[in-house]
Structure 1
Amino acid sequence: MSQLGLDQQITPPRLARHINITTVSRTQHYMVLCEVKIFETDCPNGTYGDGCAGNCRHCKGGFQQFDHIYGTCNMGCETGFVGLLCVHSCNISFYGENCTERCGNCLNGSRCNLKNGSCPGGCSPSFLGVYCNQTCLSGQYGPGCVNRCSGNCFNTETCNGITGVCLNGCAPGYDYNRDAKCGATCTNGSYGQNCSAKCGHCLDGPICDNLSGKCSDGCERGYKGGTCNEICANKTFGYNCEGHCHCNYESEQCDVISGNCSSGCANGWIGLNCSTSCTAGSYGHKCKDSCSGNCLNGETCHFTTGECSTGCAPGYDYTRDDHCQTACDDYSYGQNCSSRCGHCLVDAVCDKISGNCPSGGCKMGYSGSRCDQICTDNTFGYNCEGLCHCNNISEQCNVTNGDCSSGCAIGWAGNNCSKDMILTAPARKLSTAPEAKVARVLSRG
């Protein structure tokens, strides 16, 4: 029980709507109060409420701007806090005045600075900037975007900005199973998409271009093509199938490595791989046959058949023998035996190349080396050596016997008008008359 005039201090101050004053005596059941006075007091700065148990920390404007009884902030909360009492910080993804700004991409999902939104611990992979709200440029990835994509993603896609992985696989030539970032080329003799194709028969072993599969130094014997996966065919063999074999059996493919023909070589070819043709002047099986030597213009015959492909030299019959070993029939000569002999004496056979008659000469009425020129200009007889003188000066006497149908010219006689009567007449005195002399001269002339 308090004494008259005693001040009872309540420390710390208490909030109250009414005060109960009771006695603590167990025997006295009443109490006399003469006067009760209640004095109001404030909580110390930064506290509020019953017993000043509440703390005000984040009011805008400081301690002066909060209610010391209820703890509310008169001007609202300082940046980064919300609620009537401003005791709740922003949600982990927000910051700023009234927590309305969204944080960027802080490393490992950490909270951004409540006041300015910066990421004190750095940015998540694929983001950069003070606020970690800028993404990496295409082709970059990882923390700070300092890593470069491999550039080998499928269809030239860019890699994942966080991990650098090519999400849809690698471009041909790169092994996704070994490196999802597509920095590893195909190995172990493989190439192409997902390194699923195998290198062919490259000259240097199963090492080919990882992208295309091409063999840079060519193929081993028996194979061809850019990837060296095509076996030799169509009578080819050897390195890159550049050798050509010629087997005796038309349907046979020689050994693709050596070129050996089990049936032997075709006509016109010799050698271990039947790839060497006969030398000029020979032909046929194992090149044992010789050309005739009678091909046109001295050309050699074909090395497989012996044929003279452009025809025969004059004197040989190409229509009957394309090897040009058959001479023209008697009484024919020249190119393809197309010309007939002339009128050789006693039906002699002319030369089968030139058509010239033997040294005996020509039949009566013909002249020339081939005896194919009929006598002209008043000539007749053997080789046109006779000279006739017909009365009609325009007449050509018979080329065989020299007979003149118009008779002989004055001063000439005989069956062929070739006998000079003046030279054969007896000597006699000629007239000295001028008229007679002129007439005689005219008859001779």
Structure 2
Amino acid sequence: MASLVSVMLVLVCQIGLTIQACAECACCKGSFTCESNKNCINGCIDGYYGAKCTEECQGNCETCVNGNECTECTPGYYNNKCSIPCGKGCVNNTCLLVSGECPCKSSYFTKGKCDACAGLRYGDECNNTCPSNCGTCISDTECLWCKNTVYYGSYCQHRCSLGCDQGRCIKSTGHCIEGCKSGFSGGKCDKCSPGVFGPFCDQNCSNNCFSCLSETNCTECNPGFYGEKCANACPSGCNGTCSVSNGQSCNITDIYRVCATDTGRCIHGCNSVIKYGEYCEKQCSDTCNNKSCDLKTGHCLEGCEMNFYGLFCVDSCSTSCISYTGKRRCDGTKGHCLFGCKYGFHGERCDNICSSQCVNTTCNQTTAECSYGCIDGFKGPKCAEIIPDLEGYYTRSTLIGSTIGTFLAGGIVVGIASLITIIIRRRRNIQTKQLDVHGHVNTIGPCGIRSNDDTHENDSPVTYEDLKSRDERLYSQITTSQQETPPATDYVNYSS
């Protein structure tokens, strides 16, 4: 009967029910192998820890030494908290506790953690083949990147334009990464620049042709001309341009006038490809390829120079993007890093810093979750939470430190104030005093005349004879003091 009760209590602990019986040695290893104080002698059954084996392991821990360190995980998880899933290709969904490595189900998975598909494969079992131009993919219609960056589109179905310098373009837009070759224009470098035509945009249009489809088919004439080859001059009185087909639709104004008489706005655009605006008063960004931009908006027409992005190409790619010699760090449209982030940064532009609570300050580029767990004292996917056991310690330590600092600072201030007060008082009490040969204290007055302490206000002369007698005595004293120098022993300095 006793053994049956023991078995029942162990089962209660294992299914996670909390009753008083679990605290009475029932979760110790063995049959009631605990001391009189209820501490377990041989340790705890799986899933519990503590001296009395009353604390339950957390999360996916099978066994643990405390609430923050697992020694064995449930199948499918690893690390000291059993919080990271094993790779989808692990045999039996089981991997090593510390590294997460495991034997793979097949060669379709990458070796090591078996957490990704090898080669050009996708799917839960990595048994599907990616589209031919994909570098890697997640389905047959979604490539993560294209081979050699010479293709674009959701599954890399389009080849970059012939006009792209180095032949490379951005997967999402097809815009050329390095800008256009000479003679090409447009974001995708798929148009010929004004004045040239042909598949390689290297043949010149006829004279007076601003743009053309062939040597005999002008699509736009230079100001003042019209016709299929722009060989005809516009009639006099035209405002500088006229219909390409028939020379009509002209205004009766000066043929050479290029701006409106009422506003001064440019009628035919700017005479330089590096200017834009209604008055051509603005200059295209220096970092536009060929410094050319849209006449109205100023948006760069031929993409951005190396490592700049945006409509005006004034934003620099983040220095936290991984870079390779001769290659752009980010795409020219939104500034997203093309080759990922340097260690310690995350985000599409790699402009966010990983939490300092992450081990090695390293985190996932997309989610910002710490890649290698948290430093001591923190927890959570981004290591933003203080572990409760240490939170009070940190708060008390901060409080004690600030209190001691306050007392020390206060003591120093009081000490300095007291020292200054003593010095001022002593200086006020020091007087220059001397003793004459009879032991009387003499104080040196103005003009070097000594006054004797025995002199009293009642001795002041009150008659002319008294004044005269006093003056004679003072004169005699001055004469004597000039002729005789009293010995140094006749003077005594007093200080109060």
TM-score over 0.5 for the alignment? no
More strand by share: 2
TM-score by length of 1: 0.29
More helix by share: 2
TM-score by length of 2: 0.26
